[in-house]
Homo-oligomer: A and B are copies of this chain.
């Protein structure tokens, strides 16, 4: 589970009463998912919110994420809205950790999404990219090339020769790629199925923006495709992909340069998550119960993308 820092109902009540305008706290429920932070559902007599204590991100790193969420919310993009405290700040301090309260997104994830749902995710992702254009914050992708190159160096020792070779050659391949001409902006960078909540037939919201960064829009689409449009054997489902890209393009058309780099972006997305899953498996952080995902599906996706050039479908 993922409640690393304990908070009592009394502590939360006093803190909210002193610092916020969201009513009286009536209940506090630990959230068992999530890897990086401590999360609670916080029920007040005005509604349900999410209380997050940041375990590793520091108060100086957090403004990018919270300001981005506030920016996107103010544009009507359904992401958790950070709530300001009486000092007009998103971040406070609770039990020694930076802490924030955000709105609670309605709905539940769809583990077996329909084509309609995949299309909606594509539309909403394009809206998120367009709304993010006017966001002034900037954060380099902390899980980009420099990161995966460094992380891989710690992983090779755990891999057999074939996997080590695959990792090494893909990292070398991606290092050759120069992407200056691709449109960039704030991206979610982790839009897997568990980070989208559906509320009836709508996207209730995109959650967990704590991997968000400034990077290529089409890379964000590729990461999304690698989860939403992948069959069990690691091969892209052409129909689902058409739904995702069609939904996206109905809001924002892809540029020729984005179509051109599509196969590289798919491989980069698969690489980034293969590396992080290998890392979490072989080098779990002490004292933390991470929900380690099996790295093999991501390896399989990467292999398929390498074996079959993924031309952008027209």
Contact = CB atoms under 8 A, between A and B. Distances in A.
Number of contact residues on A: which range applies? 35 or more
Contact of A83 (B49, B76, B88): B76
A73 B76 CA distance: 13
B23 A87 contact: no
A124 B103 CA distance: 18
Main secondary structure of the interface of A (DSSP, over half): loop
A130 B86 contact: yes
A86 B134 contact: yes
A23 B83 contact: no
Contacts of A103: 76
Contact of A21 (B49, B83, B85, B127): B127
Contacts of A203: 46
A298 B101 CA distance: 42
Contacts of A20: 75-76
B127 A87 contact: no
A20 B75 CA distance: 7
Interface string A118-144: 000001100110110110000000000
Given A75-B86, A86-B131, 10 more contacts: A20-B76, A21-B75, A21-B131, A23-B123, A70-B74, A73-B81, A74-B81, A76-B83, A86-B134, A88-B134
